[in-house]
Amino acid sequence: MTNNRRPLISGNWKMNLNHFEALKMVQELSYEVTRDDVDALDISIHPPFTDLRTVQTTLDSDKIPFFLGAQHCHSEKSGAFTGEVSPAMLAKLGVRYVIAGHSERREIFGESDELINAKVRAILAHDMTPILCVGETLEERQAGEAEAKVQAQLKAGLARVKAEQVAELVIAYEPIWAIGTGQTASAEDAQTMCAVVRSVVADKSGSDAAEAVRVQYGGSVKPTNAAELMSQPDIDGALVGGASLEASSFARIVQYRLHDL
């Protein structure tokens, strides 16, 4: 089955790499990634806030065609929010994609569905693209509640987002039990859940939005499993954590098309 969705491979560095290391990483990646790769798909990198300016100037000055991404942001434009970074500040830096509702933000920092929805709308209001993350815990999966959890997160996360904006979004299905554990969802399970994501979008925003929205899988994506995951009809990309911290492994994921299934 073919579709017109352009794949998006994103590297979420989490709280890793200082700005010197970031510069080295971006340059190494730019040597490994080819023109054919960037013709075939979009690549975004999501460094910590302290690296963003360095990465932005490196991408600009060396004309490296990766999209700049951020890992989260506040929902307000400015104000007395000590320690926070606003979507307006990210937009000014040329950030294109902002992760919202990563499970680590939900679980460790207590971000609610309502707050994540406010962030999604704020990111869109600043002409950036949210990567809205959803996913179930191991207990929820074992209890047969994975679909219900993801449906509820999506309904809340997409509240008051217009259908044409939903069409532009990226949604990342990241089962929590697969994040940083080396235990990837099977391609079949990942496909089933990414299809659930698309059907929730269809119910909420119509079939055009569902056909257009890009759905990533995240959770222990590696060079060895990327091709099989990406061959699934409802998986349009990958949100990569650990394997994005080494240029050669991230480049091999970006080059999944060249690998045998």
Residue from 123, 221, 230, 254 binding ligand 13P (CB under 6 A)? 221
Smallest distance from ligand 13P to CB 9, Å: 11
72 assigned to active site: no
Q: Closer to ligand 13P at the Cβ: 44 or 75? A: 44
**Annotated catalytic residue, options 102, 104, 140, 228:** 102
Residue with tokens 């790769």: 37
Smallest distance from ligand 13P to CB 41, Å: 17
102 assigned to active site: yes
Residue from 114, 142, 162, 180 binding ligand 13P (CB under 6 A)? 180
Smallest distance from ligand 13P to CB 153, Å: 15
Residues facing 60 on adjacent strands: none
Q: Closer to ligand 13P at the Cβ: 116 or 243? A: 243
Pseudo-torsion of CA 229, 232, 233, 234, nearest 10°? -40
Contacts of residue 152, Cβ cutoff 8 Å, sequence gap at least 6: 113
Smallest distance from ligand 13P to CB 4, Å: 25
Is residue 232 within the footprint of ligand 13P (CB under 6 A)?
Answer: no
Stretch that binds ligand 13P, among 47-55, 60-68, 78-86, 233-241 (CB under 6 A): 233-241
* Chain residues that interact with ligand 13P, rule: CB under 6 A: 12, 102, 174, 179-180, 218-221, 239-243
- The set of catalytic residues is 102, 174
